[in-house]
Amino acid sequence: MDQQFWDDMYGETEQRFSGLPNDALVTEVTGMTPGQALDLGCGEGADAYWLAERGWQVTAVDISKVAIERASAGHPEISWRHADIAVTPLPSRSFDLVSAHYFPIAHEPGHATVRGLLDSVAPGGTLLFVTHDPTEFPAQEQHSHAQEGHQHQFDPYAYYLPADILGLLDDQWSVQVDERRDRNRPAAGHQIKDLVLRLRRAH
């Protein structure tokens, strides 16, 4: 899932997603005091727009240049970044909210990318990490990658899930939400349940 993969996906249509913010973001962040927010895997920008409209100072990051160009049009109030956080580390202890919805991070020795994700949360800040429930993916689900003319399998267990992140926490962190919940709008395909993890870092 490199930049080319995501550029190709966004390039297939003029608008890939609904334009509405993710359910878990609205549920978990409504009522929080606005501050500095990081939206990872911002895609076409719906979550970033929602946060900015509620007073957050938003930095929105995506590996896809196509997505960033599409999302940033007409929204200079948001700091848009085309970056791969596995290559470009996030700033340390900088964000009051780090939101990562359906943001695939492949398992790696040493867990450097996830540790960097955790480190980016400011003291007193929140990490909201949401994934599709992996049990809803067929065991041999095939995804076409037409540009390369072949099929490849997607294994959700090859990427970090909330349970993996829980295993990396130290005593600075408290778990506020760790649950499986229904999503109001099914994802592309049939997945209708999410795993929602909300963590708070001690001051």
41-94 per-position pLDDT tens digit: 998 999 999 999 999 999 999 989 888 999 999 899 999 999 999 899 999 999
Q: What is the pLDDT of residue 139?
A: 59
Residue 26 backbone dihedrals phi, psi, to 5 degrees = -60, -45
- Per-residue pLDDT tens for 144-168? 333 344 344 678 899 999 999 999 9
Question: Cα separation of 33 and 50, whole Å?
Answer: 14
Can you give the pTM of this predicted structure? 0.85
CATH superfamily of 3-8+35-135+144-201: Vaccinia Virus protein VP39 (3.40.50.150)
- Least confidently predicted of 8-12, 149-153, 168-172: 149-153
pLDDT value of position 192: 79
- For residue 8, name the pLDDT band (cuts at 50, 70, 90): confident
The whole-chain average pLDDT of the chain stands at 86
Place of tokens 């290559």: 87
Report CA torsion sign: 101, 103, 107, 108: negative
134 pLDDT more than 60: yes
In the beta sheet, which residues pair with residue 145? 150
| Cα–Cα distance, 13 to 61 (Å, whole number) | 20
